[in-house]
Amino acid sequence: MITVTALPAFTDNYLWLLDAGGHAAVVDPGDAEVVRAGLAARGLRLAAILITHHHPDHIGGLLALAAETGAAVYGPRAESSKIKGLQHLLDDHDEVRLDALGITLQVIAVPGHTLGHIAYFEPTQRLLFCGDTLFVGGCGRLFEGTPAQMLESLDRLAALPPETAVYCAHEYTLSNLDFATTVEPHNLALAEEMARVQALRAAGVPSVPSTIAHERRLNPFLRARSAEVTAAVVAQAGEEASQKLGNPIEIFGALRRWKDGHRPRVR
């Protein structure tokens, strides 16, 4: 069995530490010191570093940790020119065998937030490490990709087994749920979820992981094809703009732009 631990970093990042039998892997080590402390506290040896995409808050500790520990470094081939120190370049459908931990991860290409973004899926325990693609109640900003790419990426993640645990890289849940409630003000499940997560956060407990089933129920970006979300996006766009919202990709793009301009009442 793999144990997964959240290592909080910066303002709202989670670096994910996986361990089994005294060996560890870390996903997106933005801060080397946070990982050092996490390993030391648990008496773990770092065997592998897994990178989802090239942003500094996900790779900042990579070189130092690799040099200190000799850990093998995995990351997206498509971003290898932007990430110094990658040793194993990964493409869609590749597998990452981590013998020290006794697991094999499947690589899923999820362009949108960045063009080469990948996610890692562990099929036995059903663990998904998805970086800045799918968040609890939301999705990553489209810095490099198109709405069509992100929608397809989220569709692939949504098709994973419903019980899959979703380990995303940021604690954005409350502001995401605030936006979700703006989109679907009459969705009672959202109001209940907001109260539940507010209690968790007040107690200092991460709201991550979620599950794929949970996200399919509540996350507006996985519900862009639903009658409720479609109607809300069309109403928000106004009569003239709504003429151009003819398919799920355009609805999804308008939903993402709506979120970009949304100022949450909570954080």
Catalytic residues: 53, 55, 57-58, 113, 132, 170
Q: How far is the CB of 188 from Zn ion (least distance, A)?
A: 32
Q: Which of these, 40, 249, 16, 201, lies nearest to 120 by C-alpha position?
A: 16
- Rounded distance between C-alpha atoms, residue 14 and residue 35, angstroms: 11
**Is residue 57 a contact point for Fe ion (CB under 5 A)?**
yes
Asked if residue 156 lies in contact with residue 92, where contact means CB atoms within 8 angstroms, the answer is no
Strand runs labelled E in the chain: 3-9, 13-20, 23-27, 45-50, 72-76, 88-90, 95-98, 103-109, 118-122, 127-131, 134-135, 138-139, 165-168, 210-211
Q: Is 132 in the site for Fe ion (CB under 5 A)?
A: yes
What does 94 interact with, of Zn ion, Fe ion, none (CB < 5 to 8 A by kind)?
none
CA distances from 266 to 14, 89, 172 (A): 20, 39, 10
Q: Choose one: 35-43, 124-132, 144-152, 182-190; the region binding Fe ion (CB under 5 A).
A: 124-132
Give the Å distances, CA to CA, from 262 to 97, 141, 176, 209: 41, 13, 10, 24
Q: Does 171 bind Fe ion (CB under 5 A)?
A: no
* Minimum CB distance to Fe ion smaller for 34 or for 245: 34
Asked whether 106 and 95 are in contact (CB, 8 A), the reply is yes
* Shortest distance, position 134 Cβ to Zn ion, whole Å: 13
Task: Name the residue nearer to Zn ion (CB basis): 39 or 51.
Answer: 51
Q: List CB contacts of 179: < 8 A, sequence separation 6 or more.
A: 137, 138, 220, 258, 259, 262, 264
**Which of Zn ion, Fe ion, none does 92 bind, CB closer than 5 to 8 A by kind?**
none
| Contact window for Fe ion (CB under 5 A) among 14-22, 50-58, 109-117, 150-158 | 50-58
Among 132-140, 157-165, 184-192, 256-264, which window interacts with Fe ion (CB under 5 A)? 132-140
Nearer to Zn ion by Cβ, of 23 and 53: the residue is 53
User: C-beta of 113: minimal distance to Zn ion in Å?
Assistant: 6
Least distance in Å: CB of 138 to Fe ion? 13
CB nearer to Zn ion: give 168 or 237: 168
In terms of CB distance, is 133 or 187 closer to Fe ion?
133
Task: Mark the segment that binds Fe ion (CB under 5 A) among 56-64, 70-78, 88-96, 171-179.
Answer: 56-64
CB 74 within 8 A of CB 90: yes
Give residues in contact with Fe ion (CB under 5 A). 57, 132
